[in-house]
Amino acid sequence: MDMKKLLAAISIVILIGVYIFYRMSSATPTPAATTGTLTGNPDIGNINPNASSTGSTPPPTPAPASAYKDGSYTGSVTDAFYGKVQVKAIIKNGVITDVVFLQYPNDAEHSVEVSNHVIPLLTAEAIKVQSANVDTISGATQTSEAFQQSLGSALVQAKA
């Protein structure tokens, strides 16, 4: 594995892991939709803080006690087309406490200067669940699935 990917891997963690984490390990609250941080946020140009304050993400789901053994478990290398995904799951006190990317598909990690000459007219809103009555779906699914596959194989070892 090249250094670039290694650096990316170490610093990148997937939130789907959080989802699995909630379901598999503990009844931790999901991230609440927060809009207060938008006001005076110097990083997001001229944001119109017209976001509603309604919650959007799903409520926490209590999960049963885990049977995982403590330790760290390396998952399989899974092809996500954009690149390979491989994760390491760290189990403490029977729950997943961390998922580290050992390999992660990314094109570059060096920073980029983004033009700020045009003041963007960005708008923000809290996401809300919509009707699933659509023709098709867009999401970064294939990498997520590779992640789940790799994590799944790590957790099989943790159960053994």
Partner 1 sequence: MRQTRLIMGMPIEVEIVGDDVGDIIDEGFEYLISVDERFSTYKQESEISRFNRAEIGENALSNEMKEVFALAEKTKKETRGYFDIRRPDGTIDPSGIVKGWAIHNVAAIIRKAGHKDFFVNAGGDIAMEGKNAIGEEWSVGIRSPFNTTEIVKVLYPKGKGVATSGSYVRGAHIYNPLAPEDELKEVMSITVIGPNVFEADRFATAAFAMGKSGIRFIENLPGLEGYMIDKGGVATFTSGFSSYTHA
DSSP state of 38: G
Pick the closer one to partner 1 by CB: 65 or 137.
137
Site string for partner 1, 40-69 (x = CB under 8 A): -x-xxx-x---x---xxxx-----------
Coil/strand/helix, residue 37: helix
**Residue type at 79 in one-letter notation:** D
Tokens 């503990």 map to which residue?
Answer: 26
The reply on whether position 144 binds partner 1 by CB under 8 A is yes
Site string for partner 1, 3-22 (x = CB under 8 A): xx-----xxxxxxxxxx-x-
Site for partner 1 in 63-102 (CB under 8 A): 78-84, 96-99
Cα distances (angstroms) measured from residue 123 to each of 36, 115, 116, 126, 148 = 14, 18, 16, 11, 32
For the bound state, the minimum distance from the C-beta of residue 139 to partner 1, rounded and expressed in Å, comes to: 3
